[in-house]
Amino acid sequence: MAHFDNIYVGSDPGSPVQVVDESGNLMQAGSQVATTMSPSSVISASAAAYKSSVVRFGNIIKTTIVIDLTGLKSVATDLDIIGDTGVCHIGQVTAAVNGTIFKGQMGCMEVPTTGADDIDLYAATEGTGAYDAGIGTLTETALVTAGGAHAIGTVKPFTALPAANQYLYLTSGEAVAGTYNAGILYIEMWGYV
């Protein structure tokens, strides 16, 4: 990966500079694109969209995940995993890629409809959590307990942090079954190298 520590524009070496790396990613001088996150194959195939970015700025790493829930399903059991038939994690957090997480949040860009709109975020040691299984069957930690419906602009901070090598899961925070026809959530995490 390219590393741009000494590229300046004009006479002020302290001013930020935007550059394009060899993959066509726009970034600031001194930053580098590390990689992306990978969801389970079920999430990749069933969600309308899953996009992620992991960018390093000096010794700080920012991870962003955006997921369009359209096509995924919730069930009529509180705290069951959202997805479709099979394993449904939305990515694994590793120290090598994401750093040691020190802050995180989940926000709403489009209101979830026709499925549970009270959606929680969990981390679990196991990467085998399947749709319609209770998150409590895994060694889990609640990161965001929404406590109600998500609305556009709602941002909920993590109340706990994922450990290295844990997998992320979306779960129903209420007993509502349905296949989503809308709903976009984003997750942001900050870690240090």
156, 144 contact by CB (below 8 A): yes
Residue type, 49: A
117, 165 contact by CB (below 8 A): no
Q: How many CB atoms lie within 10 A of CB 105?
A: 16
Average pLDDT per consecutive 10 residues, the chain (193 residues; last block may be shorter)? 38 45 48 78 96 94 98 96 97 96 98 97 98 97 96 96 98 96 98 96
Q: Which two tokens stand for residue 55?
A: 């960018």
- pLDDT score recorded for residue 31: 55
Give the ranges where 28-168 is alpha helix by DSSP (H): 41-46, 95-98
- pLDDT score recorded for residue 35: 83
pTM of the model: 0.84
DSSP state of 130: B
Give the ranges where 126-178 is alpha helix by DSSP (H): none
Distance (Å, whole) CA 116 – CA 50: 19
Q: Is 93 exposed, middle or buried (0-12, 13-18, 19+ CB in 10 A)?
A: buried
- pLDDT score recorded for residue 30: 54
